[in-house]
A = this chain, B = another copy of it.
Amino acid sequence: MKRNLFFSGMFVLLTFVILSCAGTNVQNNNVLVIQEQGIFAVGGTVIQNPGTFDNYKFEGWVPSGEGQSYHGDHATVSYQIPANARELPLIFLHGYGQSSRSWGTTPDGRDGFNNIFLRRGFGVYLIDQPRRGQAGRGTVEATIPPIADEQTWFDIWRMGTWPDFAQNVQFPKDEESLNQFFRQMTPNIGPIDGAIVINSVSALFDRIDGGILVTHSAGGSPGWAAGIKNSNVKAIVAYEPGGFPFPEDAVPEPIPGLTGTLSPEVVSVEDFNKLMQIPIVMYFGDYIPDEPSANLGAENWRTRLTMARRFAEVARSRGGDVTLVELPKIGIYGNTHFLFAELNNVQLADLLSEWLKEKGLDK
């Protein structure tokens, strides 16, 4: 009897050790247990030049290209799958001027959403969209001047009014964090071409089957389109998307603002209805007024949040499962446009985890 009790105790302990290291869905906080990781290209096209390639003629390190090929316009995707992963992975698509690095860390060097959701048992795929980051080979000539623009982005992204941070901002205010943040920007290598981005995201979903698409900012619009195009997109999580689709029979007025006029993105009723088949959540941070403002960042996001509200309304009227979370309205203050990488990013991740659970997306 005593021995059986002892045996049971050891068995429970052993089971606990095995589970806590090989990973139940929720992993040990101290280590990441990765079943598989790697990096690959997806999508893209091939330029095949006319002429005949001469194997024995050295034309210098930048050859004429005669008879040669050029693979470009693909996305580059790095991925990690934890042990005992949940069914649906998270696929992250960055915003303007960014790359997959946006999700890999925070400006102050803590766990980004990549690590946080790996720890929570999700496979993660990080995209460098075509003509960005490691997916640098575009099929159109690019000219990239080093134009100093960081103060503009600081303002537009609502960190504050340069050089002052916004009051109670969640963006880390130390100098090195700002240095890291500015250095995570990386240029467009050629024009941004929505169709090419959408095709590469869709090709990724073809490759991995089902997944949850998480977009940020300018990743929002191609994200909606990928959700329409590919039924393997099982849900969309959009952090401050920059644009919104509307069915052609319910297109709202464009919204003028200081940073330009925001137009709705018109799609067919059929396409819009495809998007209505999947759960959607959008998150917006702080410092976004309801009324026009002289502040560029406030203005830029006032127009977009206003359009987000209209999108949510139209979507719900068509049976869509669309949640719009305005963080200050649920008592979460101080978030800028990079809300998922700020001081309270674990709280933001918790919100997302709750939503995924509610929608049955975390099995």
Contact = CB atoms under 8 A, between A and B. Distances in A.
Given A134-B99, A138-B146, A33 B35 contact: no
A55 B101 contact: no
B41 A179 contact: yes
Contacts of A294: 56
A85 to B, nearest CB: 11
Query: How many copies of the chain does the oligomer comprise?
Result: 2
B56 A295 contact: yes
Contact of A31 (B22, B76, B115, B186): B22
Contacts of A104: 38-39, 78
Contact of A40 (B49, B64, B78, B105): B105
B189 A38 contact: no
A182 B71 contact: yes
Contact of A21 (B18, B133, B183): B18
A191 to B, nearest CB: 12
A262 interface: no
A264 B296 CA distance: 55
Contacts of A256: none
A256 to B, nearest CB: 12
A314 interface: no
B146 A144 contact: no
Interface in A181-221: 182-187, 189-190
Given A33-B31, A115-B38, A142-B144, A135 B17 contact: no
A41 B148 contact: no
A155 interface: yes
Interface string A1-30: 001001100100110011001100000001
Contacts of A134: 99-101, 128, 133-134, 184, 186
A140 interface: yes
Interface in A105-142: 105, 109, 111-112, 115, 128, 132-142
A68 B145 CA distance: 14
A14 B64 CA distance: 64
Contacts of A40: 105, 109, 180
A59 interface: yes
A161 interface: yes
A122 B18 CA distance: 23
Interface string A258-300: 1110000000000000000000000000000000001110000
A47 B30 CA distance: 39
A331 interface: no
A136 B137 CA distance: 13
A328 to B, nearest CB: 22
Interface of A: 3, 6-7, 10, 13-14, 17-18, 21-22, 30-35, 37-41, 44, 47-49, 53, 55-56, 58-59, 61-65, 67-72, 74, 76, 78, 83, 96, 99-101, 104-105, 109, 111-112, 115, 128, 132-152, 155, 161-162, 179-180, 182-187, 189-190, 258-260, 294-296
7 contacts: A10-B14, A17-B17, A63-B152, A65-B147, A70-B150, A141-B145, A143-B143
